[in-house]
Structure 1
């Protein structure tokens, strides 16, 4: 079966392509950057999702469309790029998909369509009101509306997956990781907050900095440790393929992610033991990151069974860190 995968050069998309090709599918990858793949059964379109000519070529012959690609940023200066990629790109891609009468759409949305840190109730399920508090979350909410409009107007069954935050386990203890560096390591976190212009957070972080590389346990201004979902890429890929393969998923929306959130008060001491790095604690201004999202629907309806707990991920991250140090 011919399947289009957008975001095919990314962390999740590249692994989805691996498994689809292994299963004997013909796959088209569509991404802003090339992957360098040369396997039989694979073709690649390099371009922006809002480039109509590229989108038209990408959907050609595709029976199923996995729209996994997106532009991610939380910087105000990136708002134009964000909406061009995630809103206009989704609109153009699905307009072209409708013309070729694609048989199925699976769309990667985000938990940021909810107000994750100020929810109406916990755990956040798929019926929670959508109240994004970031431009990225808003772009994904609008993308969801485009998907459902295409479903209604073109008769293409669609599944929406609201993604958890996703990481490769090997990234968790890597100071250079785009996500884990500033989330768990003191000096990358200082640089991130300086980039955001958060002067009060920078001051709080610098107050505990003695110049030595360290991990940091982030808490809110009341001393409540951060808590959020972090899902291993392998579990996310499993959920995506379940949604693609299941007829029951057509027309449905699912939260896709780990079953349990990561409590930083437990995870950071484990990371410190695994690395031997000192662990600093900081109380940051504001309510902080604290949420729990339910994946009960996708577990019950599609049999999703995530395997990679944070403990397993930390163990793998420690091994990867040791291997990097040995190779250095």
Structure 2
């Protein structure tokens, strides 16, 4: 399969590219390198430096003859979306429309879209774990931008026959993660621990997340590229809830030290509890998460320790 991965030099993209290449797929990465890094990718990867809002995007599709597009490019940080909604709209909504328009004009068979748990908003505890049919009520412009693109995908399919799969990610973490994004708390914490610094929790620490390892997300995306159950939405999650206080405790075990975090006021737009059901993805994609939290945290912490050692 000939696949274009937008935002492929980013954190999740770097895991996906390795998964696709290992499966023998032909991969082209398109990235503007605003947050992605060339060093994140294997040396032989075909890379095009371009923004999805570039007028030259059509030339990439003209030459590429892609069977499928995995659309990961976009602004991924909640607090940035609250500070600058127009940037979020430009990068996530308008950029996505450009990708969809080129995909339908050039006969792409399927678009895999990276959506988010933030689409659901702050769901009542008695509604957890959240299933895909839960009404969408985003609390941030980031979540709203993802929901908007989901609607565009549905209408593009109805109007033009463009196949799609929407994947709503839980909080993704792992090696090569930057300080932004929804799962960024783990990368921030792991990096600070590797540097011998303290940790700060925004809120009371009882807020929970469904943390999923990036390698498991990459496997889910690969499954979405080949599934017969297309034009649907799937959660990719562990269906396991972890509080930030519990996260710090597990990180302490991984790092071999006792951690006493400081606490500051919660930030606007942050969801208090998040837990996604993954039964639909297990049934229809033949997928399941395989890397437990402690093992994933060990890999992530060791990566940042390695980075810190090279920086010194």
TM range (shorter): 0.7 to 0.9
User: What are the ranges of 5 or more consecutive residues in structure 2 without an aligned counterpart?
Assistant: none
Q: CA deviation at 1:233?
A: 0.7
Structure of larger gyration radius = 1
Contact 2:209 2:275 in 1 (8 A): yes
Counterparts of 2:15 and 2:211 in 1: how far apart (Å)? 18
Counterparts of 1:7 and 1:170 in 2: how far apart (Å)? 14
Q: Which moved more, 1:160-169 or 1:264-273?
A: 264-273
Alignment pair present for 1:8 and 2:8: yes
Greater relative contact order, per chain length (Cα 8 Å cut-off, separation 6+): 2
Correspondence for 2:117 = 111
Task: Please state whether the residue corresponding to 1:70 is helix, strand or coil.
Answer: coil
Q: CA deviation at 1:323?
A: 4.3
Counterparts of 1:285 and 1:236 in 2: how far apart (Å)? 28
Counterparts of 1:22 and 1:274 in 2: how far apart (Å)? 29
Alignment pair present for 1:298 and 2:281: yes
User: What are the ranges of 5 or more consecutive residues in structure 1 without an aligned counterpart?
Assistant: 189-211
Counterparts of 1:231 and 1:55 in 2: how far apart (Å)? 34
| Match 2:218 to one of 210, 215, 237 | 237
Q: Alignment RMSD, CA only?
A: 3.2
Equivalenced residue count is: 296
Counterparts of 2:96 and 2:117 in 1: how far apart (Å)? 18
Correspondence for 1:228 = 209
Counterparts of 2:107 and 2:149 in 1: how far apart (Å)? 19
Correspondence for 2:68 = 64
Q: CA deviation at 1:58?
A: 3.4
Counterparts of 2:241 and 2:12 in 1: how far apart (Å)? 20
Task: Please state whether the residue corresponding to 1:50 is helix, strand or coil.
Answer: coil
| Match 1:274 to one of 240, 245, 254 | 254
Q: CA deviation at 1:98?
A: 1.0
Contact 1:271 1:314 in 2 (8 A): yes
Correspondence for 1:254 = 234
TM-score w.r.t. length of structure 1: 0.78
Contact 2:19 2:219 in 1 (8 A): no
Counterparts of 1:25 and 1:95 in 2: how far apart (Å)? 24
Correspondence for 2:21 = 21
